């Protein structure tokens, strides 16, 4: 029965999608487009400065510098084979350029990005990545005020604008949704920094601290940095932490503990502020900062359907270009899921936290700043190109039904992956019918629309993210190696990243 329904829907989708589209925006003069964009900028109160009213640390502050050294060290990994930077390298857009990340048990721990592979003898290895989701970028992490992670499981319970969770309590997986976590730290970045070391497939590994709670794992890592857990041939961490916090005579447990580790890692990530792009220059008055195609793309992004646009701003709002909300756009699933559903291969997204139907298969709206640098796209890493993910937004049913993926895949049945995608699609349909979705698809569109929108999105790139020399302050080329456990990052050709 379901097969007949899918077939009928697919036929209708193909019929509607065959209708050609041309936006009247395409036929307007550049002056007309500039005037229309000026009106949109005023309508949505865009300033071109998402850092306004915010305080983010410089990378040159002592805490951020210490956090950087720790970010590149494998000392927090249970098996000494993975670091934070394994999934969040600055030259890879603050992520890893993989659809689904490979954390522990890699063939070459120094090889990051495309070409990174699991050891065939690794625990739980079944032919594909053991992690369930695509890695979100660490860039501009300090600009979020409500949630972190794809499902928002780290959440500011008093989300005051521009405060990054610094006012009021924060809930985490340790405390449960809606419940304050007294160990979360001073802001969302500090809270988030305590979790990558706890999942087995991410950093903990499948042999270290298997019977321990999340906090016990963090305490063991802190003991390791203090030199109390395992013998380390090199350990300069006590000296560096004492210098950074000016606590030469304090007990070492007061100088190196899980809270302070989270703090310095969070400060390094908060220092990764990359918001100098041509769109912001345009907003501030430089009408030559964008090409005509980019301007058309911007107008189509902000205009609604009746104005010749696609109302992308309804979710990608403001200067950060996100509403920090959760939406089901039926992104095709390629990973092994999060253990949800009857087969245990689903990923229910935000529903895992709230148990609300509106949140079924919903994931956090990403910021679009530097989006050119953060492919593959979607919580599942389903699309490698901007054009591909834009087309999916235009018509998720068409995209989802016809979707194919030929990259490395976990060993779950293709039928399961397809069934999971179909369930997300039908759930989205009912959410739309019930008024629980902002998604107004399907849209009629043409190749010019896709190209214009992609061109605009590329204008959101801070040039520093494309320049290794500019990124050097966030790298460790000339920094000391405190424990001999540094990730010396290389690409698939073994060239330094």
Q: Comparing 115-129, 431-445, 467-481, which segment has the lowest mean pLDDT?
A: 115-129
Question: What is the model's pLDDT at position 316?
Answer: 97
The answer to whether domain 62-273+468-474 and domain 278-464 are alike in fold is yes
Q: How many of the other CB atoms lie within 10 Å of CB of 126?
A: 13
What letters, b where the CB count within 10 A reaches 16 and e where it falls short, cover 6-15? Answer: beebeeebee
The residue-averaged pLDDT of 456-472 equals: 98
pLDDT in the model for residue 27? 86
Q: Rounded to an integer, what distance in angstroms lies between the CA atom of residue 379 and that of residue 45?
A: 29
Tell me if residue 111 falls in helix, strand or coil.
strand
Segment 108-129, tens digit of pLDDT: 999 999 999 988 777 767 666 7
pLDDT digits (tens, 9 = 90+) for 249-294: 999 999 999 999 999 999 999 999 999 999 999 999 999 999 999 9
Cα torsion 38, 42, 47, 50: sign: negative
Instruction: Answer yes or no: are the C-beta atoms of 345 and 417 closer than 8 Å.
Output: yes
Residue whose structure tokens are 């979020």? 144
Backbone angles phi, psi at 399, to 5 degrees: -65, -45
Q: Can you give the pTM of this predicted structure?
A: 0.93
**Residues sharing a CB contact under 8 Å with residue 37, sequence separation 6 or more, in sequence order:** 282, 295, 298, 299, 302
Residues 6+ apart with CB under 8 A from 397: 9, 13, 330, 425, 429, 441, 442
Q: Please provide the average confidence, as pLDDT, over all residues in the chain.
A: 92
278-464: what fold?
Answer: Cytochrome Bc1 Complex; Chain D, domain 2 (1.10.760)
Cβ distance 346 to 420 under 8 Å? yes
d(C-alpha 97, C-alpha 137), whole Å: 10
Closest CA to 268 of 137, 139, 143: 139
In the structure encoding, which two tokens stand for residue 174, read together?
Answer: 């340790």
* Spans of all domains in the chain: 62-273+468-474, 278-464
Question: What's the pLDDT band for 458 if we cut at 50, 70, 90?
Answer: very high
Q: What is the pLDDT of residues 79-89, one digit of tens each?
A: 999 999 999 99
Please determine, for residue 194, whether its predicted confidence score (pLDDT) is greater than 70.
Answer: yes
Please report the pLDDT score of residue 16 as a whole number: 47
DSSP assignment, residue 108? -
Assess contact for 398 and 442: CB atoms under 8 A: yes
Q: What is 368-393 written as a DSSP string?
A: -TTGGGS-SBTTTT-BSSHHHHHHHH
The pLDDT of residue 409: 58
CATH topology of domain 62-273+468-474: Cytochrome Bc1 Complex; Chain D, domain 2 (1.10.760)
């Amino acid at each position: 029965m379901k097969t007949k329904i899918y077939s009928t829907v697919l036929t209708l989708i193909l019929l509607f999608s065959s209708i050609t589209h041309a936006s009247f925006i395409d036929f307007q003069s550049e002056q007309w487009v500039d005037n229309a964009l000026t009106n949109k900028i005023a309508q949505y109160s865009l300033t071109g400065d998402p850092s306004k009213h915010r305080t983010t640390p410089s990378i040159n502050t002592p805490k951020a510098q210490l956090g950087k050294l720790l970010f590149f060290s494998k000392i927090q990994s249970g098996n000494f084979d993975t670091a934070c930077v394994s999934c969040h390298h600055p030259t890879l857009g603050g992520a890893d350029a993989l659809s689904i990340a490979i954390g522990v048990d890699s063939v070459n721990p120094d090889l990051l990005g495309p070409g990174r592979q699991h050891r065939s003898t690794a625990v739980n290895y079944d032919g594909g990545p053991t992690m369930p989701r695509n890695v979100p970028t660490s860039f501009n992490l300090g600009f979020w005020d409500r949630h972190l992670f794809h499902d928002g499981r780290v959440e500011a319970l008093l989300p005051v604008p521009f405060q990054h969770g610094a006012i009021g309590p924060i809930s985490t997986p340790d405390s449960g949704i809606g419940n304050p976590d007294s160990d979360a730290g001073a802001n969302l970045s500090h809270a988030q920094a305590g979790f990558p070391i706890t999942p087995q497939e991410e950093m903990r590994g499948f042999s270290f601290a298997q019977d321990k709670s999340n906090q016990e794992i963090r305490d063991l890592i802190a003991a390791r940095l203090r030199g109390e857990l395992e013998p380390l041939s090199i350990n300069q961490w006590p000296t560096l932490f004492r210098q950074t916090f000016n606590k030469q005579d304090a007990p070492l447990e007061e100088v190196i503990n899980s809270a302070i580790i989270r703090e310095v890692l969070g400060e390094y990530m908060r220092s990764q502020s990359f918001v100098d792009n041509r769109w912001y220059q345009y907003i501030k008055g430089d009408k030559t900062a964008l090409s005509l195609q980019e301007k058309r793309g911007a107008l189509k992004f902000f205009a609604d359907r009746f104005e010749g646009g696609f109302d992308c701003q309804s979710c990608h709002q403001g200067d950060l270009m996100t509403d920090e909300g959760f939406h089901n756009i039926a992104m095709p699933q390629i990973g092994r899921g999060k253990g949800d559903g009857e087969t245990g291969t689903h990923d229910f997204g935000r529903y895992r936290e709230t148990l609300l139907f509106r949140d079924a298969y919903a994931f956090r709206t990403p910021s679009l700043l530097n989006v050119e640098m953060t492919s593959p796209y979607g919580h599942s890493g389903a699309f490698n190109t901007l054009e591909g993910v834009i087309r999916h937004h235009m018509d998720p049913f068409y995209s989802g039904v016809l979707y194919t993926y030929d990259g490395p895949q976990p060993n779950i049945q293709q039928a399961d992956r397809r069934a999971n995608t179909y369930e997300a699609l039908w759930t989205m349909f009912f959410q739309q019918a019930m008024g629980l979705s902002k998604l107004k698809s399907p849209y009629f569109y043409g190749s010019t629309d896709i190209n214009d929108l992609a061109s605009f999105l590329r204008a959101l790139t801070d040039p520093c993210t494309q320049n290794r020399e500019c990124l050097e302050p966030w790298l460790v080329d000339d920094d000391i190696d405190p424990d001999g456990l540094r990730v010396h990052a290389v690409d698939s050709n073994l060239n330094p990243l």
